[in-house]
Amino acid sequence: MTDEIINRIKRNLSGNPDLDRDYLVSQLDFYKDHESAYEIIKEISRLIWQSLDFYLDDNDNESKKTNVSRILDEVIPLIENRDKKIALEKLENFMSHFNDKYENKEIHKESDFKSNSSITEIQYMRYEENKLSRNPKSYNINQKKNRVNWRKDVKINKMSKSDDEETSHLKEYHSFLNPLEEILFYKYIGLEKELAHIPFNEPLFDLYYIYGTLLLENDDFAKAEEYFLKALRINPVSSKTILSLADIYKSKTRTYNRFFLYNVDALKFAYKKEDIARAYRNFGFFYVEENQLDIAAVFYDFSLNFDFNKQAFRELEYIKSRGFNTEINRKDAEMIIESKNIQVGINPFVLDTLKIISADLEYKKHYIGALYFYRILYDLTKDNQILGKINSIQNRI
């Protein structure tokens, strides 16, 4: 069975490293709960690294495994085997002597986690909405043609050591999972400096996110915040990172200003249903703490449109036991959510961008990439026309 799955994954590879990498990432998520997950994920990971060689010269040191990739190779199997204590110890030791040469040190404010002052703005890169200090190099939305140009030749901004040392202060270093995330970055955040992509074999985002998660589970809130913010500096539109930060401020600050604002942005950037539902559950928690149980019920109930989560059901039962109505009409719920200046459902820009990217890739016959984005779109919309697109493309591969 395992060999059959792996062979099917290999047959679906197109030979285009960009598209294959995104397809393989989608398969990592698809098979994460499979009974043979370890063997399947190990092989998929090998194929992902193999696809990266396309960008690198044979004699290029970037094609070799870095210290960051090596430590993650050690730590991830430990986490999967629930040996989180050992995983944390390994990362603690690694971080004690690790130097991040790609860190965006000047962009973010110093953390005020230890203070109890009221927070009036989100603590990460925020610029005037829709501001683009320079045109995107990799992905360009053309409003007239309504298409996205997805280029592969600028994925890595290679620099010599001398160039890196002399110009690093003029660059912003970022890494995104896919073109959708980079487009979200350009629309809502923008650049103050020149964009430089962190090389693929330096998975710094994963390093910081995983370390932050282990620290959070170990109740080391201040240090977890530090490393989640490092991850957010690399990918400021990562909804899962923003939601992890919200978890810290959910219980460890006196006011919920920052908790509320983080959830607003997580919802804006989210394109996975579980992240959208998690944000709405957090708003439910917020209004419980505000002693507005009728409003909290709206958010917990609305979250079930995206994820049938046991916690949401438990909270609704509690609110019902307090004498409040928990059966809310969808239209009424949307009006209440909108009255709180909170996004209703999926960000329309996310849906529009997914449609543009999917159609563009299908038009260019990049079928694996089109499938990847059509599947995200279908998961969000359950649109039968999108399902028809998926079935049609699968028959062509």
| 301-341: pLDDT as tens digits | 999 999 999 999 999 999 999 999 998 999 999 999 999 99
- Long-range contacts, 340-346 (Cβ 8 Å, 24+): 340/283, 340/295, 342/264, 342/267, 342/283, 343/264, 343/267, 343/268, 345/276, 345/305, 346/270, 346/271, 346/276, 346/380
- Note the pLDDT of residue 152: 34
| Nearest-10 Cα torsion for 177, 183, 184, 188 | 140
- Note the pLDDT of residue 154: 31
| DSSP alpha helix (H) spans, 105-220 | 161-167, 179-188, 204-217
The model's pLDDT over 116-141, given as tens digits with 9 standing for 90+, comes to 322 222 222 222 222 223 233 332 32
The model's pLDDT over 192-238, given as tens digits with 9 standing for 90+, comes to 888 888 888 899 999 999 999 999 999 999 999 999 999 999 999 99
Per DSSP bridges, beta strands 147-150 and 139-142 are antiparallel
Q: What does the DSSP 8-state code read for residue 63?
A: G
Angle between the N-to-C axes of helices 204-217 and 67-80, in degrees from 0 to 180, rounded to the nearest 10: 40
Residue 175 burial class via C-beta count within 10 angstroms: exposed 0-12, middle 13-18, buried 19 and up: buried
- Note the pLDDT of residue 244: 95
Give the residues of the chain that fall short of pLDDT 50: 53-63, 107-163
User: CA–CA separation, 229 vs 246, rounded Å?
Assistant: 11
- Note the pLDDT of residue 167: 57
Tokens of 224: 């977890």
pTM (2 decimals)? Answer: 0.72
User: CA–CA separation, 87 vs 93, rounded Å?
Assistant: 10
